[in-house]
Amino acid sequence: MDQNLLVATGIKVTYAKHAGLFGSKPSTPVLHGVDIRIGKGQTVGIVGESGSGKTTLGRALLRLVDVSAGKIAFDGRNITHIPETEMRPLRRRMQMIFQDPMASLNPRHTIRRILTGPLLLHGLAGDAATALEQVKSVLDRVSLPAACVERYPHELSGGQRQRIGIARAVLMQPDFVLADEIVSGLDVSTQAQALKLLKGLSRELGLAMAFISHDLSVIRAVCDYVYVMRLGKVVEEGPCEQVFASPSAAYTRALLDAIPLPEYDPGWLERRTET
């Protein structure tokens, strides 16, 4: 079994609502005690219907929302309540790739600035020339031409922007990457290319990843282990093949039945990216 990287136990999250008419603040519990373990270098899937709490769980793991109960440990360290100043050096090691890279890439900055800025900020490159070398090398790895650095985000296609988002995360040399519904907006073959790229990178770099998706066919294309969420709880978990071959929860069976592919096709990802 892989060594633990990120372990969350008994996670509860409650969103505070805005003050009501009489100043009361009713709140909505969204996660009801979730346990999740991500090993070093492991790719874990988190699947469930919209509203089941996947994004909230992902944000809780990265300490982007407060938990009302439970514990989060990253690389052996309890980070549940450490102050933001102590989180900051860890943030480089825990990266996030967004569903809509357009929303997370500054439209007024060139790709050069978007990608070299964080390298200089985190001291991963000593000067602009070194940073640019690192950027070009990663752009090559994600199959984007080096000339991309002079472009602005809106000048790239959706699939290219997704690769910029992946490059930006990978450049930080993280241990963990959270990918929340990152391929949802892309057509199927662009999805497959992005997934294949991430899977390759995670192997090469020993990256651990959490893949959030409402789509089981995405999860089973890339994940080793899967958590199935429903209404803020984990209803089933296990190695992917096991869960897909014999789901024990009725809910997982219903999700599986909803997959458009009639049968599990292990070659799906490979064939989709042949062209």
| Interface positions with ligand ADP (CB under 6 A) | 15, 28, 30, 48, 50-56
Q: Which is nearer to Mg ion, 30 or 111 (CB)?
A: 30
Q: Which is nearer to Mg ion, 55 or 116 (CB)?
A: 55
Helix (H) or strand (E) holding 128: helix 128-141
Q: Which is nearer to ligand ADP, 50 or 85 (CB)?
A: 50
Nearest approach, Cβ of 52 to Mg ion (angstroms)?
8
Q: Which is nearer to ligand ADP, 51 or 238 (CB)?
A: 51
Q: Which is nearer to Mg ion, 111 or 215 (CB)?
A: 215
Nearest approach, Cβ of 164 to Mg ion (angstroms)?
22
For residues 195 and 213, give the distance between their C-alpha atoms in angstroms, rounded to a whole number. 12
Indicate whether 217 belongs to the interface with Mg ion (CB under 5 A). Answer: no
CA 98 to chain centre: 7
Q: Which is nearer to Mg ion, 63 or 136 (CB)?
A: 63
For residues 217 and 198, give the distance between their C-alpha atoms in angstroms, rounded to a whole number. 16
Q: Which residue shows structure tokens 């309890």?
A: 78
Nearest approach, Cβ of 233 to ligand ADP (angstroms)?
12
Q: Which is nearer to Mg ion, 59 or 151 (CB)?
A: 59
53 binds, among Mg ion, ligand ADP, none (CB under 5 to 8 A by kind): ligand ADP
3-state secondary structure 135-191: HHHHHHHCCCCHHHHHCCHHHCCHHHHHHHHHHHHHHCCCCEEEEECCCCCCCHHHH
**What are the φ/ψ torsions at residue 150 (nearest 5 degrees)?**
-90, -5
Q: Do the Cβ atoms of 216 and 52 come closer than 8 Å?
A: no
15 binds, among Mg ion, ligand ADP, none (CB under 5 to 8 A by kind): ligand ADP
Sign of the dihedral defined by the CA atoms of residues 13, 239, 37, 104, in that order: negative
Nearest approach, Cβ of 84 to ligand ADP (angstroms)?
19
Strand partners of residue 8: 36, 72
Indicate whether 99 belongs to the interface with Mg ion (CB under 5 A). Answer: no
For residues 172 and 195, give the distance between their C-alpha atoms in angstroms, rounded to a whole number. 19
Indicate whether 55 belongs to the interface with Mg ion (CB under 5 A). Answer: yes
For residues 45 and 184, give the distance between their C-alpha atoms in angstroms, rounded to a whole number. 15
Indicate whether 56 belongs to the interface with Mg ion (CB under 5 A). Answer: no
Nearest approach, Cβ of 194 to ligand ADP (angstroms)?
19
Q: Which of the ranges 51-59, 81-89, 137-145, 216-224 carries the binding residues for Mg ion, by CB under 5 A?
A: 51-59
Whole-angstrom Cα Rg for the chain = 19
Indicate whether 252 belongs to the interface with Mg ion (CB under 5 A). Answer: no
What is the end-to-end Cα distance of the chain in Å, rounded?
36
230 binds, among ligand ADP, Mg ion, none (CB under 5 to 8 A by kind): none
24 binds, among ligand ADP, Mg ion, none (CB under 5 to 8 A by kind): none
